[in-house]
């Protein structure tokens, strides 16, 4: 996708980019300082509607809070989706504050502390156990609190998902219980001590191929059906993961959501639901629901030429939006789409290298980007900043103030 497609997706008035219907320069005045993150409420709403329209009716849509845990964003999504997935006690508190029913909140992630397990058991959410010893600690916690914990087993599948930005399944992993170890693990637990409601499989993130996602979903469904008989009671919960990607780079093409939905209908309506009629089937998406709705807005504080190259130095950088600098798991650094807020439709006058204000060459937001002539005071907008932005960045690095976040 080209930068102009991102500009069009957000909209403009008189050549100025809009977020949530407000021109970004006016929004900057409303926020009061740069840099800031702005998330477009209507774009999130539309995205959820598109996903719900594409997925089979039988599938519950979950939001993976770690993609963007801003409380206002989570509150907005809680009213739109069926399920929230959290990965820490901090996220759990944000999810519970929305009023979401605890039965529609799941808690995944390695290294849950005893304190986190206590809070999760007390709140009544589904705890997705990642190891044998975590299950043992969960049972002990339940006894201490005189509560029967609700648990699902996170399964490390015997397969990996090709083409994922981040692989989280297949081979040895810190995530989940190896599929082949699940039967003996569940053979050890007493139904009296813990309510094991089903399985969770999440094998990868940031995938743009409907065919590969479909294949992973097929293997996931097969795996869950194979393991189903080892659940002591009824299988009430099957979390099939997600991993839907968004286009960051020019050569990235949009995921074909309808194709994903069709394949999932065959798998869920045709195979999973007939075998496990009492199961709530969840797909949990993070980045796909919020990533494209967010922009990171910075202001140019300096422009300079150095041996034939033009630089624009902005007041933000990798300490707020690490991923755009290429240092968040990327193998090859490519530019995130970026534009000048008030001249979003102007013809470029030449390449400008946009750098942040940190004293390290890693702080590169755009390498030789075609932009209209850049001046001090211009607002530079980085697109695709709604997921894994602020909270996935080293904000303390160099001691600059934290940016604001607004949901517009």
Ligand X SMILES: *Cc1c(COP(=O)(O)O)cnc(C)c1O
Interacting residues toward ligand X by CB under 6 A: 64, 66-67, 85, 87, 108, 202, 205-206, 242-243, 284-288, 387
The least CB distance from residue 246 to ligand X, in Å, is 9
The closest residue (CB) to ligand X is: 286
What residues pair up with 294 in beta bridges, in sequence order? 39
Shortest Cβ 388–ligand X spacing (Å): 7
| 272 vs 285 by CB, closer to ligand X | 285
Taking each helix axis as running N to C, give the angle between helix 210-227 and helix 257-267, from 0 to 180 degrees, rounded to the nearest 10.
Answer: 20
The whole-angstrom separation of Cα 298 and Cα 403 is 10
Least spacing, CB of residue 168 vs ligand X, in Å: 7
Check: CB of residue 233 under 8 Å from CB of residue 195.
yes
Residue closer to ligand X (CB basis): 142 or 242: 242
**Closest approach of Cβ 173 to ligand X, in Å?**
12
Could you tell me where the beta strands, DSSP code E, fall in 286-363? 294-306, 309-314, 338-340, 350-355
- Which helix (H) or strand (E) covers residue 49, if one does? helix 41-54
Least distance (Å) between residue 49 CB and ligand X: 18
Between 35 and 242, CB nearer to ligand X: 242
Measured from the CB atom, is 287 or 343 closer to ligand X?
A: 287
Hey, what are 117's tokens? 């397990």
Cβ count within 10 A of residue 76: 20
Q: Are 286 and 242 in contact (CB under 8 A)?
A: yes
- Distance from C-alpha of 6 to C-alpha of 40, rounded to nearest angstrom: 13
Among residues 87 and 135, whose Cβ is nearest to ligand X? 87
27 vs 151 by CB, closer to ligand X: 151
What's the closest the beta carbon of residue 334 comes to ligand X, in angstroms? 18
Antiparallel, parallel or unpaired: β 404-407 and 280-285: unpaired
Which letter does DSSP use for residue 378 in this model? P
Smallest distance from ligand X to CB 296, Å: 17
How many other CB atoms are there within 10 angstroms of residue 312's CB atom? 25
Distance CA 382, CA 102 (A): 36
Identity of the residue, 65 or 314, whose beta carbon is nearer to ligand X in the bound complex: 65
């Amino acid at each position: 996708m080209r930068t102009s497609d991102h500009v069009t997706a957000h909209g403009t008035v008189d050549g100025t980019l809009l977020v949530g219907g407000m021109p970004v320069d006016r929004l900057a005045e409303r926020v009061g300082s740069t840099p800031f993150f702005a998330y477009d409420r209507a774009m999130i709403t539309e995205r959820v509607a598109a996903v719900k329209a594409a997925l089979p009716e039988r599938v519950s849509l979950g939001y993976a809070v770690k993609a963007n845990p801003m409380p206002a964003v989570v509150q907005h999504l809680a009213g739109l989706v069926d399920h929230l997935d959290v990965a820490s006690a901090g996220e759990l508190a944000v999810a519970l504050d929305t009023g979401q029913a605890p039965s529609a909140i799941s808690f995944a992630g390695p290294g849950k502390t005893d304190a986190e397990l206590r809070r999760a058991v007390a709140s009544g959410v589904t705890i997705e156990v990642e190891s044998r010893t975590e299950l043992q600690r969960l049972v002990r916690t339940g006894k201490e609190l005189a509560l029967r914990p609700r648990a699902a087993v996170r399964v490390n599948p015997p397969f990996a998902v090709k083409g994922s930005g981040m692989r989280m399944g297949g081979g040895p992993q810190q995530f989940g219980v190896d599929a082949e170890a699940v039967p003996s693990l569940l053979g050890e637990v007493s139904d009296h001590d813990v309510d094991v409601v089903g399985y969770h499989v999440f094998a990868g993130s940031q995938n743009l191929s409907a065919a590969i996602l479909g294949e992973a979903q097929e293997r996931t469904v097969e795996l869950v059906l194979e393991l189903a008989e080892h659940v002591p009671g009824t299988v009430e919960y099957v979390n099939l993961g997600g991993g839907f990607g968004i286009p960051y780079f020019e050569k990235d093409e949009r995921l074909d959501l309808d194709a994903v939905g069709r394949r999932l209908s065959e798998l869920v309506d045709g195979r999973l639901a007939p075998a496990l009629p009492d199961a709530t089937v969840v797909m949990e998406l993070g980045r796909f629901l919020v990533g494209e709705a967010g922009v990171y807005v910075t202001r140019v504080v300096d422009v300079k030429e150095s041996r034939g190259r033009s630089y624009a130095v902005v007041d933000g950088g990798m300490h707020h939006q690490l991923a755009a600098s290429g240092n968040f798991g990327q193998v090859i650094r490519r530019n995130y789409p970026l534009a000048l807020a008030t001249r979003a439709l102007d013809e470029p006058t030449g390449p400008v290298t946009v750098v942040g204000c940190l004293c390290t060459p890693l702080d590169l937001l755009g390498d030789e980007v075609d932009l209209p002539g850049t001046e001090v005071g211009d607002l530079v907008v980085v697109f695709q900043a709604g997921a894994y932005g602020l909270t996935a960045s080293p904000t303390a690095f160099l001691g600059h103030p934290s940016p604001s976040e607004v949901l517009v």
